[in-house]
Amino acid sequence: MLTCDVAVVGIGGVGSAAVASLAKAGANVIGLDRFSPPHIHGSSHGQTRVIRMAYFEHPDYVPLLRQAYRGWSDLEQATRRQLYYPTGVLQIGPESGEVIAGTLHSAQEHQLAIQRFAYDEIASEFPGVVPPEDCIGILERDAGYLLVADCIAAYLDQARQHGATIKTDSPVQSWTRTGDTFELRTDTEVIQAKQLVVCGGAWATQLLADLNVPMTILRKHLYWYENEAPAYTSESQFPVFLLETPQGIYYGFPQLDSEGVKLARHDGGEPIPAADRQHQQEDAADRQAVEAFTAGHLPLLSQNLVRREACMYTVTPDHHFLVGTHPEHEGLHFAAGLSGHGFKFASALGEILCDLAITGQTSSPIEFLSPRRFS
Ligand SMILES: Cc1cc2nc3c(=O)[nH]c(=O)nc-3n(C[C@H](O)[C@H](O)[C@H](O)COP(=O)(O)OP(=O)(O)OC[C@H]3O[C@@H](n4cnc5c(N)ncnc54)[C@H](O)[C@@H]3O)c2cc1C
């Protein structure tokens, strides 16, 4: 039987950061995953993730984002890799819509630097973009994208260097608690841990079912389109963007490589019953919606699809995360239900889970993410 101070179940986006933080803090930590991260079976794949600070989802995320930006920068320095690309993020939508009103609210509350563009200015500054009528644009310069697989690989390298044990292809089949010890079973091993950190992504619907918060797994699609138009390669003319239209919220990235321009729809998605039943087949209606969006708003982009991937959002009833210590199991800490916007926070969530496992508390403001809000 293996013993450790802390076992981390799930070492994808958030768990890789948690296991690295714990190892750096000197804990005897074991990280386990059912696959071999970074992998394409969960929620942390598909080349890039948007990171931005003027957070339309809620201003209370901004202090956590400040912590996250610091965390990514620390990881870049420690591992000497560039993980964050500050292309800027351009958000376009009606002034009273979810994206623009929310972004302005966060920027004002936290005095964040943003630049505003009137409708006509969008077309002259960003010539490949045709905004919907009556929209304005907001550019946040200290924002951009993270290379998702490289971030996970960097954290796992760092964790190993600081003495963590990493067990891949080791699904945790069950856990029990006896006294103050957790006992975890994989197909081949039993592991005893004083503290348990659960970062199971879409499998949290099973691993954390007793939180009694209904989480929906949505299958989402990412598309890469061939591009020869300079309008979509220059970051100054085509930063990462989010565009709210009457048909939905779409986002995309400047062309990074020969695979073209990556685009996706943020809202919508197909509910699936369980994470293990994710399949990669195409969703024709979703692709049609993305291509109608492209034809209307990115008219210089080719419609030749060069790559497509499916991925999972794990969505809570209010689209905000679940982070904290389990109300019924002292010593069990989690980050779950990241609702399609959690990767950018992984560096902060890893530190927070490390604080909770080592000291039982954190100075980071996570109270608004407690599952108690649903009880
Ligand atoms: C298409 C798409 C686009 C997105 N875009 C953005 C974006 O632009 N910006 C942003 O911030 N966020 C974005 N997100 C959301 C973000 O990617 C996720 O919130 C985040 O990556 C989830 O990380 P996680 O650690 O919770 O899950 P994962 O990275 O999936 O990790 C969970 C891990 O747990 C493991 N696991 C599960 N069960 C067990 C078990 N029983 N035993 C052992 N291991 C187990 C899995 O194998 C997996 O590796 C996007 C998500 C998708 C799907």
Per-residue pLDDT tens over the stretch 26-81: 999 999 999 999 999 999 999 999 999 999 999 999 999 999 999 999 999 999 99
Beta-sheet strands, E only, within 72-214 = 84-85, 89-94, 115-117, 135-140, 144-147, 165-167, 174-178, 181-185, 190-198
CA 297 to chain centre: 25
Cα dihedral 123, 129, 132, 134 sign? negative
pLDDT for the residue numbered 236: 81
Region 109-130: mean pLDDT is 96
Copy the structure tokens of residue 285: 């209606």
Q: In what order do the strands lie in the sheet with 48-51?
A: 48-51, 144-147, 84-85
Predicted TM-score of the model (pTM): 0.98
Closest C-alpha to ligand 1, atom 26: 201
Q: What percent of the chain has pLDDT over 70?
A: 100
Q: CA geometry: angle at 321 spanning 49 and 176, to 5°?
A: 110
User: Residue 79 catalytic?
Assistant: no
pLDDT for the residue numbered 313: 98
Region 361-367: mean pLDDT is 98
User: Residue 262 catalytic?
Assistant: yes
How far apart are the C-alpha atoms of 77 and 61, rounded to whole Å? 24
pLDDT for the residue numbered 323: 98
How far apart are the C-alpha atoms of 184 and 200, rounded to whole Å? 14
Q: Which of 41, 48, 52, 297 is catalytic?
A: 48
- Cis previous bond, 365, omega within 30: no
- Out of 341, 347, 369, give the residue to mutate to test ligand 1, the one with the largest number of ligand atoms within 8 Å of its CB: 341
What mean pLDDT is reported for the chain? 96
Q: Please indicate whether residue 266, judged by its CB atom, sits closer than 6 Å to ligand 1.
A: no
Atom of ligand 1 nearest to the CA of 42: 30
Copy the structure tokens of residue 340: 């399609």
- 308-344 pLDDT, tens digit per residue, is 999 999 999 999 999 999 999 999 999 999 999 999 9
User: Residue 344 catalytic?
Assistant: yes
Region 159-185: mean pLDDT is 97
pLDDT tops 90 at residue 234: no
pLDDT tops 90 at residue 14: yes
pLDDT tops 90 at residue 362: yes
Q: How far is the CA of 14 from the centre of ligand 1 (A)?
A: 7
pLDDT for the residue numbered 21: 98
pLDDT for the residue numbered 94: 98
- 257-300 pLDDT, tens digit per residue, is 888 999 999 999 999 999 987 778 899 999 999 999 999 999 99
Please answer whether residues 46 and 311 qualify as being in contact, where contact means their C-beta atoms are separated by less than 8 angstroms: yes
Domains of the chain: 2-46+149-212+318-374 (3.50.50.60), 89-141+216-313 (3.30.9.10)
At which residue do the structure tokens 């989690």 appear? 334
Taking alpha carbons only, the member of 1, 7, 48 closest to residue 197 is 7
Q: How far is the CA of 32 from the centre of ligand 1 (A)?
A: 15
Which of helix, strand or coil describes residue 69? helix
pLDDT for the residue numbered 200: 98
User: Residue 167 catalytic?
Assistant: no
Taking alpha carbons only, the member of 360, 345, 363 closest to residue 61 is 345
Q: In which element (H, E) is residue 224 found?
A: strand 216-225
Closest C-alpha to ligand 1, atom 2: 311
User: Residue 24 catalytic?
Assistant: no
Question: How does strand 84-85 pair with strand 181-185?
Answer: unpaired
Q: How far is the CA of 135 from the centre of ligand 1 (A)?
A: 32
- Span between the terminal Cα atoms of the chain, in Å: 38
Copy the structure tokens of residue 187: 């197909």
Q: CA geometry: angle at 156 spanning 152 and 157, to 5°?
A: 115
| Cα–Cα separations (whole angstroms), residue 256 to 102, 145, 242 | 29, 11, 17
Atom of ligand 1 nearest to the CA of 342: 19
- 82-111 pLDDT, tens digit per residue, is 999 999 999 999 999 999 999 999 999 999
Q: CA geometry: angle at 88 spanning 87 and 90, to 5°?
A: 130
pLDDT for the residue numbered 276: 83
Region 242-250: mean pLDDT is 97
- 128-166 pLDDT, tens digit per residue, is 999 999 999 999 999 999 999 999 999 999 999 999 999
Q: CB count, 10 Å around CB of 236?
A: 10
Q: In which element (H, E) is residue 68 found?
A: helix 62-79
